[in-house]
């Protein structure tokens, strides 16, 4: 028989799940279906549904997407796990602010964040994310991201590099050894102790990107721990084009530039170089030499995007909108 988190004995914690949603595809349906069948069930699932500001200008595709979400929720809702749709105007959406709003709706012990395209690998995702919280010093836990079946070799290796098979724990003492990796925590699949989340002020309410790492830095600097739960698995990966790689790293650098007080003391370029070197070695070992030029081009576009983002204050805003993956932010 499935149990709520509060009934789980040594995991006497309640948990709510928060998912920002905008024009989701089939993966969102799969994700919800698996979430309501978890061995440790959440109390509530909050869907922060981004809607067009002006319904008169709303496209047929967008209107159909919103109707599909409502129909899906009605079909899946049951008394043991309430799914709630919370409308968010598109102009009000912000990576940190929207999630922060969702967090304030919850009175659970643990708030669990997912993206709409992250699909739980099994029924133990919630349980495995909760277990590290048995240590009272743990304030955040993030899960392992597995590549999709159709992911390319380079993307699969990147997932393995960032999300290894072994679980780990990070604290302030690890900063000299891990550098920026100490602050690594992804809201694709993450959970936070609500008491500490509120104590530290939650996610920043205006950021283009990186709200999870900014929060993680505050957690580490406050003396708490961040856990990586390798057995808490979601299927999630991307196949970005070179231009998309550029834009994503542009936004990454912008966020680091806007929050210099968080990132200036730790280097991030060295971690990127390490990934490129290890990926190239892996491709050579696997005799996939033909993919090495692709790796070089991907890495080049990432680095150029990063350099541009670091200097965004010198770039006209109309150009910035073309360089960014989030033009509505500007």
Q: What is the C-alpha to C-alpha distance for residues 319 and 316, in angstroms, rounded to an integer? A: 5
**C-alpha of 60 from chain center:** 29
270: DSSP letter: H
Q: What is the C-alpha to C-alpha distance for residues 298 and 225, in angstroms, rounded to an integer? A: 33
CB 132 within 8 A of CB 221: no
Query: Which is nearest to 258 in space by CA: 329, 199, 189?
Result: 329
pLDDT, position 42: 92
pLDDT, position 61: 61
What residues in the chain have per-residue pLDDT under 70?
1-11, 53-68, 70, 74-75, 78-80, 267-269
- Secondary structure (H, E, C), 206-221: CCCCCHHHHHHHHHHH
pLDDT, position 228: 98
Q: Would you tell me how many other CB atoms lie within 10 Å of the CB of residue 62? A: 17
Q: What is the C-alpha to C-alpha distance for residues 283 and 292, in angstroms, rounded to an integer? A: 7
Residue partners of 43: CB distance under 8 A and separation at least 6: 4, 5, 14, 15, 16, 81, 82, 108
pLDDT, position 6: 42
pLDDT, position 75: 67
CB 116 within 8 A of CB 236: no
């Amino acid at each position: 028989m499935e149990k709520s988190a509060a009934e789980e004995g040594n995991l006497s914690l309640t948990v709510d799940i928060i998912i920002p949603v905008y024009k989701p595809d089939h993966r969102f349906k799969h994700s919800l279906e698996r979430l309501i069948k978890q061995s440790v069930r959440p109390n509530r699932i909050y869907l922060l549904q981004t809607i067009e500001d002006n319904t008169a200008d709303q496209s047929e595709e967008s209107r159909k997407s919103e109707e599909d979400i409502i129909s899906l929720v009605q079909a899946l809702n049951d008394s043991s796990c309430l799914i709630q749709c919370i409308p968010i105007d598109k102009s009000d959406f912000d990576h940190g602010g929207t999630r922060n709003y969702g967090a304030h709706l919850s009175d659970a012990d643990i708030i669990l964040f997912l993206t709409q395209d992250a699909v739980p690998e099994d029924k133990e995702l919630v349980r495995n994310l909760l277990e590290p919280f048995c240590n009272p010093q743990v304030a955040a836990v993030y899960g392992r991201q597995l590549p999709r079946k159709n992911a390319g070799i380079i993307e699969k290796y990147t997932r393995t590099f960032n999300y290894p098979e072994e679980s780990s724990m990070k604290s302030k003492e690890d900063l000299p050894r891990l550098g920026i990796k100490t602050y690594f925590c992804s809201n694709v699949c993450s959970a936070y102790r609500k008491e500490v989340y509120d104590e530290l002020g939650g996610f920043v309410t205006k950021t283009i990107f990186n709200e999870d790492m900014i929060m993680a830095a505050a957690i580490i600097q406050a003396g708490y721990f961040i856990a990586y739960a390798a057995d808490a698995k979601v299927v999630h990966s991307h196949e970005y084009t070179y231009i998309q790689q550029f834009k994503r790293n542009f936004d990454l650098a912008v966020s680091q530039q806007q929050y210099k007080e968080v990132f200036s003391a730790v280097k991030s370029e060295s971690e990127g170089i390490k990934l490129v070197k290890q990926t190239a070695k892996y491709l050579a070992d696997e005799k996939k030499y033909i993919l090495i030029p692709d790796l070089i081009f991907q890495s080049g576009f990432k680095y150029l995007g990063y350099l541009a983002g670091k200097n965004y204050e010198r770039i006209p805003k109309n150009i910035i909108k073309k360089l960014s993956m989030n033009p509505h932010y500007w």
